[in-house]
Amino acid sequence: MARPRCAICGAPAVVYLRYARMALCREHFREHLLRRVEGVLTRAGLLRRGARIVAAVSGGKDSSTLLDLLAELSRSYGLQVYPLHIDLGIGEYSAHLRRAVERLVSRLGLPLILVEVRRVLRGDGVPEFARRAGRPTCSVCGMVKRYVMNAAAEALGADAIATGHNADDAIAYIVKAFIGQDEEQMAKWLPYTPPSGGAVARVRPLYEVYERYALLYAIVNRIPFTHEECPYRARNSMEDTIKEMFNRLEEQHPGLKIGFLRRFSKKRSAEGVPGPVNRCRICGAPSQGEVCSFCRLTERVYGEPLGPEMRRAVAEAVEKALGVSSGSGRGRASAPPQGSS
Non-local CB neighbours of 271 within 8 Å, separated by 6+ positions:
194
- 8 binding Zn ion? (CB under 5 A): yes
Nearest to 268 by CA among 210, 196, 183, 208: 183
Give the residue with the Cβ less far from Zn ion, 15 or 158: 15
Evaluate whether 115 touches 309 at the Cβ level (below 8 Å): no
- Burial of 4: CB neighbours in 10 Å, binned 0-12, 13-18, 19+: middle
Q: Give the shortest CB-98-to-ligand SF4 separation in angstroms.
A: 13
Contacting range for ligand SF4; rule: CB under 6 A; set: 31-39, 135-143, 247-255, 307-315: 135-143
Give the residue with the Cβ less far from ligand SF4, 141 or 203: 141
Q: Give the shortest CB-197-to-ligand SF4 separation in angstroms.
A: 24
Residue/partner pairs of 192-196 with CB below 8 Å, 24 or more apart: 192/40, 192/43, 192/44, 192/160, 192/270, 193/270, 193/273, 194/270, 194/271, 195/275, 196/273, 196/274, 196/275, 196/276
Q: Which of 35, 99, 233, 253 binds ligand SF4 (CB under 6 A)?
A: 233
Evaluate whether 40 touches 208 at the Cβ level (below 8 Å): yes
Beta pairing partners, 106:
none
Q: Give the shortest CB-14-to-ligand SF4 separation in angstroms.
A: 30
Contacting range for ligand SF4; rule: CB under 6 A; set: 31-39, 72-80, 134-142, 200-208: 134-142
- 95 binding ligand SF4? (CB under 6 A): no
- 228 binding ligand SF4? (CB under 6 A): no
**Alpha-carbon span 203 to 193, nearest angstrom:** 6
Q: Give the shortest CB-116-to-ligand SF4 separation in angstroms.
A: 15
- 100 binding ligand SF4? (CB under 6 A): no
Binding mask 18-57 for Zn ion (x = CB under 5 A): -------x--x-----------------------------
Evaluate whether 163 touches 204 at the Cβ level (below 8 Å): yes
Range 294-323, binding Zn ion (CB under 5 A):
295, 307
Evaluate whether 128 touches 118 at the Cβ level (below 8 Å): no
Work out what residue 179 binds among ligand SF4, Zn ion, none; the CB cut-off runs from 5 to 8 Å by kind.
none
Work out what residue 298 binds among ligand SF4, Zn ion, none; the CB cut-off runs from 5 to 8 Å by kind.
none
For ligand SF4, the binding residues (CB under 6 A) are 137-138, 141-142, 230, 232-233
